[in-house]
């Protein structure tokens, strides 16, 4: 069976450091996947939340995107937000 492509919302929690937003967006760019949304906000605990929506070719592809984003310096979680 062929995987179905879809867009998925992700939320990245990271240390609020200079360049984290650029690092996340560059990682997506380097994976050559379509990104339809990208926003960031500072959290009260000194960390930040980055919300993004990416279009992937299936669940395995999404899992590889999550793994890649998780490996960025300062990122401590990447999750699909509960809607």
State yes or no: pLDDT of 75 exceeds 50: yes
DSSP for 19-83?
THHHHHHHHHHHTT-EEEEEEEEE-TTSEEEEEEEEEESSHHHHHHHHHHHHTSTTEEEEEPPP-
Q: 63 pLDDT exceeds 60? A: yes
pLDDT in tens, 11-29: 999 999 999 999 999 999 9
Q: How many CB atoms lie within 10 A of CB 14?
A: 23
The continuous run of DSSP H or E covering 60 comes out as helix 59-70
């Amino acid at each position: 069976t062929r995987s179905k492509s879809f867009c998925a919302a992700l939320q990245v929690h990271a240390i609020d450091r200079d360049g984290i937003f650029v690092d996340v967006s560059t990682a997506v760019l380097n994976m050559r996947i379509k990104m339809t949304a990208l926003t960031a906000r500072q959290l009260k605990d000194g960390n930040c939340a980055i919300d993004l929506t990416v279009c992937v070719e299936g669940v395995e592809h999404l899992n590889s995107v999550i793994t890649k984003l998780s490996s960025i310096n300062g990122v401590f979680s990447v999750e699909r937000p509960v809607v």
